[in-house]
Chain A
């Protein structure tokens, strides 16, 4: 058989087979996507909530850029972000918009990828001409876009938790209306150290910048709470078995575990604890308080704790804040009762739009330099009262108040509200 002949045949086979594989992959898909509660439907929400196009565009629309992951593993967060921001824009528009212009949200998907985040931010600035960007959510993405927004002198309200992302000297136009890692470390050490009186704690963190960034916040603070770190364990995201890490923490005689990682991985840790018959409690940063943890840990996740917005938490004796419950009802009215996104993402994005509107109104202009000055002058602005009381200043870029963060059961969600232990600070 000649080589040429066999090559021709194989090329034809190749084309046919490639088509088959594609057909196969596409055919298997749709049912899975529509059923998973962890995978919301990013495409459907915006259509409903696009601000009315029929406004009086005398001076054109006022564009607000939104950058977050709308696809991929963190699409749930992006979905929650968009729900919150769209709702705020819609409400403001029915009251006449901002500077008598209708607000239009322009979203770009950063796929939780820093390179992509820089691309879409540059596109928003140069092609769309936005003067303000809300997001990103991921710390590496926030760090990556900082030079671009600083150079273009665009207002950027970042909703990230990484400690190092804001800096009034280097990036004067970047503000953070969101709690951050140092505040979370403070809170979880306070709860286990002071409230519970635990003296020996183990740390379990993922090996990425997120987990190790958390460790860097936890360790230097431990002493102040009379806490000794008796074990420090690391894992790679996606590790199949955590018996070793978890077993070492149990053997170290720790009273509890400080956990810094994402919900789906910490679900594996919860399962390992359960398997080893340990009742040790984990308390995590907000990464654990996610849909992923609740769904993947199942029964094994019931006992563990994480940080969350105080306004969206309730205890056995006290219901959640009335205005936050009202916000949940608004989400229901807008998106139907089946939305699965997280209020801890929807709320800051909702309030960020109001925060920006407040600054623009005070400045009487959407010129970034004037808005920046107005933002720096904001003291004790509560917005709709569902997240925090923002206070910024010429040297202050972190506007979230520590007291608005609390400890909740990581798997204790009830329709956007989380149950907190009765002794939560």
Chain B
């Protein structure tokens, strides 16, 4: 086995995994507060990317303002989604309604975007370049390196928010027992709204970082959503370190499998390993104990 090739696969897997990690962070943030899995998360990533494309490429805004526009639009969509598709349903007895409503929301966003932007993938210019960089015999493009760095930074920031701030404490309280948290004077409704807002912002960042690598299209959210959710689940759905590690593991496994195992078999290999991880550690890699209440 060629050591250089394996090193190259690891580097590419790290880059791909940090994309999944970024999406997984958004899943985790919402779940950590509301115990809801937002199945429209991938579509928020797509929305951020395409709005960013419209603002930056079509309308010709500089990158900074375009990123701001993409972030604001996606956050607004996230807030509306929470008020429309999630929060009202949580007042009902059914604990499953949000599954359908977030899935449905995702489909609406996808077909809406296909109407608006068309289904043809568009090339998003790479602010950090797509030129080849070589380091210790492995190659990557600057955009990939930036994605890895941003994923790590956001993971650390969210960990800090969750552990060291009063907001984080409130998040944990709401997640642990909503009714008691409410009695303690925590505004549960606002907490849920804020989680969706931040999560949508994370999605927009992910979309803007990913689309120079993968191109932007209404379809991009589907696979990213599934892989991001898988990464979050492997990470334990409760901690940001877990989401990050889950993403990296999935990305590295995929690229290793496609490079070293049978061709076309990489999804089987990657997801097979994820199932093994979950069987061995049902609470996820990082092992935060999660109690899901009906």
Q: Which residues of A contact B (CB under 8 A)?
A: 3, 6-7, 10-11, 13-14, 17-18, 20-22, 24-26, 28-29, 31-36, 38-39, 71-73, 75-76, 207, 231-236, 238, 240-245, 247-248, 251, 264, 267-268, 271, 274-277, 292, 295-296, 298, 300
Are the C-beta atoms of B88 and A264 separated by less than 8 Å?
A: no
Task: Report Cα–Cα, A31/B8, bound state, in Å.
Answer: 40
Are the C-beta atoms of B12 and A243 separated by less than 8 Å?
A: yes
Binds A, one of B119-127, B155-163, B195-203, B238-246: B119-127
Q: How many residue pairs at the A-B interface have CB separations less than 8 Å?
A: 164
Q: Please, which residue of chain A has its CB at the minimum distance from the CB of B111?
A: A25
Binds A, one of B49-57, B166-174, B272-280, B281-289: B49-57
Are the C-beta atoms of A275 and B120 separated by less than 8 Å?
A: no
Q: Shortest beta-carbon distance, A409 to chain B, in Å? A: 19
Task: Report Cα–Cα, A14/B83, bound state, in Å.
Answer: 7
Are the C-beta atoms of B258 and A244 separated by less than 8 Å?
A: yes
Task: Report Cα–Cα, A263/B269, bound state, in Å.
Answer: 27
Not counting A32-B116, A234-B264, A235-B264, a sample of 9 additional A-B residue pairs whose C-beta atoms are within 8 angstroms of each other reads: A10-B87, A18-B84, A25-B113, A28-B116, A240-B19, A241-B255, A247-B5, A271-B130, A276-B8
Flag whether B65 is at the interface (Cβ < 8 A). Answer: no
Binds A, one of B29-37, B213-221, B228-236: B213-221
Task: Report Cα–Cα, A29/B50, bound state, in Å.
Answer: 9
Task: Report Cα–Cα, A13/B86, bound state, in Å.
Answer: 12
Given contacts A244-B255, A244-B266, contact A238 B8 (CB under 8 A): no
Are the C-beta atoms of B91 and A6 separated by less than 8 Å?
A: yes
Bits for B242-270, please: 1 = Cβ < 8 Å to A, else 0: 00000000010011111110011011000
Residues of A within 8 A of B213 (CB): 240
Residues of B within 8 A of A22 (CB): 112
Q: Shortest beta-carbon distance, B125 to chain A, in Å? A: 10
Q: Please, which residue of chain B has its CB at the minimum distance from the CB of A6?
A: B91
Task: Report Cα–Cα, A34/B5, bound state, in Å.
Answer: 43
Are the C-beta atoms of B139 and A277 separated by less than 8 Å?
A: yes
Pick the residue among A71, A245, A275 that contacts B263 (CB under 8 A): A245
Judged by DSSP, the binding face of A is: helix
B contact residues, total (Cβ < 8 Å): 66
Are the C-beta atoms of A14 and B117 separated by less than 8 Å?
A: no
Pick the residue among B16, B87, B92, B117 that contacts A29 (CB under 8 A): B117
Task: Report Cα–Cα, A412/B217, bound state, in Å.
Answer: 24
Residues of A within 8 A of B77 (CB): 21, 24
Are the C-beta atoms of B91 and A275 separated by less than 8 Å?
A: no
Are the C-beta atoms of B16 and A238 separated by less than 8 Å?
A: no
Task: Report Cα–Cα, A26/B117, bound state, in Å.
Answer: 10
Given contacts A6-B88, A17-B80, A292-B121, contact A241 B12 (CB under 8 A): yes
Residues of B within 8 A of A32 (CB): 50, 53-54, 57-58, 116-118, 122
Task: Report Cα–Cα, A198/B266, bound state, in Å.
Answer: 29
Pick the residue among A207, A240, A243, A271 that contacts B8 (CB under 8 A): A243
Are the C-beta atoms of B223 and A275 separated by less than 8 Å?
A: no
Residues of A within 8 A of B121 (CB): 73, 264, 292, 296
Q: Shortest beta-carbon distance, A279 to chain B, in Å? A: 12
Residues of B within 8 A of A17 (CB): 80, 83-84
Are the C-beta atoms of A24 and B73 separated by less than 8 Å?
A: yes
- Central interface residue in A11, A31, A275, by most chain B CB within 10 Å: A275
Task: Report Cα–Cα, A73/B217, bound state, in Å.
Answer: 10
Residues of B within 8 A of A39 (CB): 118, 120
Task: Report Cα–Cα, A29/B219, bound state, in Å.
Answer: 16
Q: Please, which residue of chain A has its CB at the minimum distance from the CB of B70?
A: A28
Flag whether B59 is at the interface (Cβ < 8 A). Answer: yes
Given contacts A33-B117, A244-B256, A296-B121, contact A20 B80 (CB under 8 A): yes
Task: Report Cα–Cα, A248/B261, bound state, in Å.
Answer: 10
Residues of A within 8 A of B259 (CB): 243-245, 247-248
Q: List 5 A-B contacts (CB under 8 A).
A: A11-B88, A36-B120, A232-B263, A241-B254, A243-B259
Q: Please, which residue of chain B has its CB at the minimum distance from the CB of A20?
A: B80
Given contacts A10-B91, A32-B58, A251-B2, contact A240 B214 (CB under 8 A): yes
Are the C-beta atoms of A295 and B123 separated by less than 8 Å?
A: yes
